[in-house]
């Protein structure tokens, strides 16, 4: 007589399956495995240059990182910025260059200067393939282009929540903005954000207070309200000038 599937299992397994904590333990194991598996999500939560180089340098992890929600985010920011019709634009923390690519595609005419800066060489390599006409530089937020370069639009999206000196970072971004230009900054809504890779969290009121000294014009909500998009019109004479990037 053939044994049943249950009888074919080892005795220890059959006993464990009948214990009341077996299902919770299995749920815990699957949750633990999700948190520790090799994935773009788990790599980026480390918030390190090495982690982002690994994600940007891998076709598999990059495809996971550039999921529908992230691409939708880039499209929404580009749509909000396109009416400004900037002739000179810089994206600080440009990653793979997709945001600049989406923005340029929406402008009525090609800008005269498009610059992207990121601390990840792998990200800059991807960005050059996205938009060959752009000027792509490897560097961090605190060492930006020479001070004579000024831009009609300064982008800094999903960066400030990662950095240790956000106030200094905003001052430097404002120093890149040309008279009459705009600085566009996005951060997750800190009232809902709990991402382990972030070190700064602002809800809308806190972000208003933080950015008020820098010519805050207003704050929009995108991504269904989960992301705050702040607009600054800084006064150039009070802005701190960035250091020149090493040539």
Rounded to a whole number of angstroms, the distance between the first and last alpha carbons of the chain is 81
**Pair 244, 145: CB distance under 8 Å:** yes
Residue range 31-52: mean pLDDT, rounded: 69
Q: Best-predicted range by mean pLDDT among 4-18, 76-90, 133-147?
A: 76-90
Q: Is position 163 within any domain?
A: yes
Q: Is position 56 within any domain?
A: no
**Pair 160, 169: CB distance under 8 Å:** yes
Beta bridge partners, 189, equal 202
CB-CB neighbours of 212 under 10 Å: 10
Q: What's the pTM?
A: 0.80
- Residues 185 and 69 both lie in one domain: yes
**DSSP secondary structure string for all residues of 69-133:** HHHHHHHHHHHHHGGG--SEEEEET-TTSHHHHHHHHHSSS--SEEEEEES-HHHHHHHHHH-TT
Q: Is position 32 within any domain?
A: yes
Residue range 201-228: mean pLDDT, rounded: 96
DSSP three-state, residue 236: helix
Q: Is position 54 within any domain?
A: no
- Residues 95 and 216 both lie in one domain: yes
More confident residue, 48 or 74: 74
Q: Is position 41 within any domain?
A: no
Q: Is position 217 within any domain?
A: yes
- Residues 103 and 220 both lie in one domain: yes
Window from 119-123, 158-162, 195-199 with minimum mean pLDDT = 195-199
- Whichever domain contains 120, its CATH number is 3.40.50.150
Q: What is the pLDDT of residues 89-123, one digit of tens each?
A: 999 999 999 999 999 999 999 999 999 999 999 99
Which residues, including other chains, have CB under 8 Å from residue 147's CB and lie 6 or more apart?
175, 241, 242, 244
Window from 64-68, 71-75, 148-152 with minimum mean pLDDT = 148-152
Residue 72: which domain range? 65-238
- Residues 191 and 128 both lie in one domain: yes
* pLDDT on residue 145: 64
Which residues, including other chains, have CB under 8 Å from residue 93's CB and lie 6 or more apart?
117, 118, 119, 141, 156, 157, 158, 159
pLDDT at 33 over 80: no
- Residues 73 and 25 both lie in one domain: no
Total domains in the fold of the chain: 2
């Amino acid at each position: 007589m053939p044994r049943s599937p249950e009888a074919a299992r080892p005795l220890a397994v059959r006993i464990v399956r009948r214990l009341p904590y077996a299902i919770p333990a299995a749920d815990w194991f699957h949750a633990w495995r999700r948190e520790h598996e090799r994935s773009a999500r788990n790599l980026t939560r480390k918030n390190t240059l090495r982690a982002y180089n690994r994600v940007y340098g891998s076709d598999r992890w990059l495809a996971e990182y550039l999921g529908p929600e992230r691409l939708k985010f880039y499209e929404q920011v580009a749509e909000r910025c396109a009416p400004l019709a900037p002739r000179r634009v810089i994206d600080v923390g440009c990653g793979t260059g997709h945001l600049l690519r989406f923005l340029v595609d929406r402008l009525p005419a090609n800008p005269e200067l498009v610059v992207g800066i990121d601390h990840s060489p792998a990200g800059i390599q991807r960005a050059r393939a996205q938009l060959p006409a752009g000027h792509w530089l490897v560097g961090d937020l605190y060492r930006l282009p020479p001070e004579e370069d000024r831009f009609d639009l300064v982008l800094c999206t999903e960066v400030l929540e990662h950095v240790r000196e956000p106030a200094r970072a905003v001052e430097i971004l404002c120093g890149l903005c040309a008279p009459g230009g705009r600085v566009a900054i996005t951060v997750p809504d800190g009232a809902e954000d709990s991402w382990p890779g972030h070190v700064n969290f602002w809800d809308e009121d806190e972000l208003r207070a933080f950015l008020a000294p820098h010519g805050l014009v207003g704050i929009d909500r995108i991504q269904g309200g989960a992301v705050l998009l702040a607009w600054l019109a800084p006064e150039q004479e009070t802005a701190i000038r960035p250091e020149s990037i090493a040539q």
